[in-house]
Structure 1
Amino acid sequence: MSSPTGLAPVNVPGTGESRPTSPTAGSLWRGGRGALLAALLVVLVAVGGVLLSGGQDPGRPLDPESTALTGSRGMAQLLRANGVRVVRVTSVTEAVTAAEGAQSAGGSTLLIGDTSFLDEEEVERLAAAPADRLVVGDQPYLTLLAPGVNPGPAVRTRSREPGCSLPAAVKAGSAYLGGTTFTTPFGGVGCYPANGSPSLISYADEGRTVTVVGDGQFMSNLRLAEDGNAALATNLAGARPTLVWLVAPETPSESGAAPQSVYDLIPPAVGWAVVQLGVVVVLLALWQGRRLGPVVTERLPVVVRAAETVEGRARLYRARRARDRAVSALRTGFVDRVIPRLGLPATATPDAVVGAIVERTGQPAAYVGSALYGQAPADEAGLIAVAAYLDMLERQVRES
């Protein structure tokens, strides 16, 4: 049995009993190292979860202030290093005001990466702003921002060759483009083709240059350093001294804001940390569940004779009238004892056992088969008769 206290037993001379010793430094360390290791593991998991989930900027795609992989902080810094003034705006009014203010300083380019938060009237105001336009993806109201351009089938985004004469694309070379393809309007130039349709369109519209790209990943922090992505991004977005970069507002307007619940106030990393701690607790329970302590000996208070055990079990069978179990135990014990004397294997069939007993004892096969494999006796007299008959058969087999 296992020691409930976890202390090593010591035999007391002259008594034969086992008593626990006083705790030592080694036993204390062995007993407490599991809890210490579990606590250390919990701390490491919690810190790792914070570093992996809470230490990164969640950001938004193509946000010039986001350092996430999908953000565009790297592109904004590169443009500023080349003398381009980057103005980040979150509303149509700010975008139009910035574009009008840059007219006297050489003009501006309006980069539109997301118009899902705008209505048709606001998109029309954007289209009327005095600035070149760089539109990313198949935006709502694309025909207002890029008249004459219609979206085509989507293709896989990958590294592609320019395949056109547009100077910005020729200087950049291969770039990570694809996504939505477009139809080329009259007088426009289509670049980076996929399945015969360009994923970059550039053309002049009412004195302004309109450029549409099917995917903006080449401007992200993740892809900027690959191929000619950085060159293409700066050539397209830095053609004017000022770049007005429109992104979705960080929070909805107060009039449309929904009330926050308690769950909205919980940081996103908390749920992941709770899952990690749950896994740690389960692993710790499985590990500690196998540590039952050292095995110790225990003296029994009394010695029970085998005959008393048999009698006790017989009384239980009699009290529950379990004649079927009693006769099954008698038959199983009889077969286990006589099979070796009969020279039969342990897997011998009932017919083989009955045949060997009949041959050895001369008893009728019907009696032997009924005694070994027949129905359970209907009363105690029948059970006693079966036991006596089996005893007689075993004696004959042993003496033959």
Structure 2
Amino acid sequence: MKKPRSWRWLRLAVPPATVLLVLLTGLVLFELEQPDEDDPAYLSPASTAAIGASTLADGVRAAGVKIARVGGTADAFLPENRGDVTILLTTPQFVHPEYLRRLALLSSATRVVVVEPSRETLLRGQVPIEGTDRALASGVSAPGCDYRPATDAGRAGVRRTRYGPVNQAGEAQLARCYDDSLVVLSRGWTTMAVVGSADPFRNDRIGEFGNAKLAVGLLTERPLLVWVDLHHREAPPKPEENPYQGGPTRQPTSTAGPTQTAGPDRPSGTPSGGRTTPQRPSAPPQTPSPQQSERQNPLWHAFPAWTYVVAVLLAVAFLLYALARARRMGGPVVEPLPVVVRAGETVTGRGRLYQRARAREESLTTLRSAALSRMARLLRLEPGTHRETIVTAVAASSGWPQHTVRDTLFGAPPEDDGSLVIAAIQLEALVEAVTTEQPDAEGARR
């Protein structure tokens, strides 16, 4: 008769499979909820989608600021976009690192707003911020600083990517707000604001808390906003456009104050007001040293934050699986032994193992423990009885002298195999003397 199929394995497989399914479903839903930055609608001033930024663009225009939408970072360096402007980089990871480095050469009247750059983007663009810590979702916090756009906005949902300290050796930090999620620093001639979340710019999140005031405040400090609407990786600049390779260079200019362009009647670096302004070198910033790169690239930040969450959840799932495997599924089941081994063979095999290991002391300790347990049961001695009490009781029962009983039960360990055999024989004789009835002083039998 065919044995019925057992479904007991489902008790072990279903719990971890359910946990794993829930984890995978959560991860898939989380990834689907994240916007694709290569989507043309992402933070586009002309898009009314949830991830678009048409609401922000309307708010900027309502504040009297003109918007110049460009499709590449190179267009932001055109003459008509220079001077008293704000440059918005919504997808900095698509910007070529060379353009990020050139931002330091713009005029002092230019402001740059960068939306949620990653650590790799900052490192390639040589932005002097020493690291990032990115959360799974944006959080809300108070400004915690005196930066005007932040104080006007109040609490905002910008705390997602938190940035480390600014490298004070090269640039200066001007403000740090929202628990390190909004950092304003000087970058060459320009002022750069690094924003840790895209939520204040999106149509579906701009109405929450003070997001709208914060985003509009960051982008309306200059009369012109150059909106870089980029959704693909840029090609490197052409050699003739690269000021570091002998191409035409541009001195910083400003439309908000005295011109800073060198003329025939004024040396370079001297404004029309007669004050001497220190000039920044036109050479690109130096590449970070290996020590700096190693300090800025710890292993903890080498992987996305979600990988650590997945690792923790998998560890929890494995622990639950281990607990499910370890717990008893029901009552004990009596099953026939596959092989019956004689007791004598077991004793002989164990003895040979002790002999091979030369465990003389352990062997005699095992024999003494078994003998003491047997005699204590016969003499009705409680567990934990003092040694001398045991010796007295055993000597009285066996008729042996107390010193002989003490040496037999608690003597020194044997020095060789011969001593072990003698001690075992003497111990067996003592047990035999206790378990065998002895005549008393009057000849009566116990």
- TM normalised by structure 2 equals 0.47
Asked if 1:127 is matched to 2:107, the reply is yes
Q: 1:57 to 1:81 in 2, by over 3 A?
A: farther
Asked if 1:91 is matched to 2:69, the reply is no
Asked if 1:391 is matched to 2:428, the reply is no
Give CA deviations for 1:335-361 in whole Å, capped at 9, x if unaligned: 223324545321123333112333455
Asked if 1:351 is matched to 2:388, the reply is yes
Q: Is the 8 A contact 1:173 1:228 kept in 2?
A: yes
**Residues of 2 paired with 1:134 and 1:331: CA distance?**
89
Q: 1:331 to 1:268 in 2, by over 3 A?
A: closer
Which residue does the alignment assign to 1:110?
Answer: 86
Q: Is the 8 A contact 2:143 2:150 kept in 1?
A: no
Q: 1:312 to 1:94 in 2, by over 3 A?
A: closer
Give CA deviations for 1:200-220 in whole Å, capped at 9, x if unaligned: 99xxxxxxxx99576656995
Asked if 1:287 is matched to 2:324, the reply is yes
Further displaced range: 320-329 or 40-49: 320-329
Which residue does the alignment assign to 2:57?
Answer: 76
3-state secondary structure, aligned to 2:78? helix
Deviation at 1:391, TM superposition (A): 1.0
3-state secondary structure, aligned to 2:225? strand
Q: 1:348 to 1:319 in 2, by over 3 A?
A: same
Asked if 1:372 is matched to 2:349, the reply is no
Of 10, 35, 45 in structure 2, the residue corresponding to residue 57 of structure 1 is 35
**Residues of 2 paired with 1:200 and 1:317: CA distance?**
77
Give CA deviations for 1:117-140 in whole Å, capped at 9, x if unaligned: 44887755x439xxx643459xxx
Gaps of 5+ in 2: 115-140, 167-173, 178-182, 239-302, 440-444
Which residue does the alignment assign to 1:221?
Answer: 200
Q: Is the 8 A contact 1:71 1:221 kept in 2?
A: no
Which residue does the alignment assign to 2:4?
Answer: 22
Gaps of 5+ in 1: 1-18, 101-106, 138-155, 182-189, 194-198, 202-209, 257-266
Q: 1:119 to 1:344 in 2, by over 3 A?
A: closer
Q: How high is the sequence identity, in percent, across the aligned residues?
A: 22
**Counterpart AA for 2:111:** L
Deviation at 1:248, TM superposition (A): 8.5
Of 48, 51, 63 in structure 1, the residue corresponding to residue 26 of structure 2 is 48
Q: Which has the larger radius of gyration?
A: 1
Deviation at 1:52, TM superposition (A): 1.4
Which residue does the alignment assign to 1:243?
Answer: 225
**Residues of 2 paired with 1:366 and 1:296: CA distance?**
51
Of 329, 339, 357 in structure 1, the residue corresponding to residue 376 of structure 2 is 339
Q: Is the 8 A contact 1:218 1:229 kept in 2?
A: no
Q: Is the 8 A contact 2:376 2:382 kept in 1?
A: yes
RMSD of aligned residue pairs (Cα, Å)? 6.0
**Residues of 1 paired with 2:337 and 2:150: CA distance?**
92
**Counterpart AA for 1:245:** W
Further displaced range: 352-361 or 220-229: 220-229
3-state secondary structure, aligned to 2:419? coil
**Counterpart AA for 2:60:** L
**Residues of 2 paired with 1:351 and 1:297: CA distance?**
45
Aligned residue pair count: 307
Q: 1:55 to 1:273 in 2, by over 3 A?
A: farther
Q: Is the 8 A contact 1:162 1:173 kept in 2?
A: no
1:201-216 correspondence to structure 2 within 5 Å: 216=195
Give CA deviations for 1:83-120 in whole Å, capped at 9, x if unaligned: 853514532444425538xxxxxx98433668974488
Deviation at 1:367, TM superposition (A): 1.5
Q: Is the 8 A contact 1:161 1:173 kept in 2?
A: no
3-state secondary structure, aligned to 1:347? coil
**Counterpart AA for 1:356:** A
**Counterpart AA for 2:57:** A
**Counterpart AA for 1:332:** S
**Residues of 1 paired with 2:431 and 2:100: CA distance?**
98
Q: Is the 8 A contact 2:145 2:175 kept in 1?
A: no
**Counterpart AA for 1:53:** E
**Residues of 2 paired with 1:389 and 1:79: CA distance?**
104
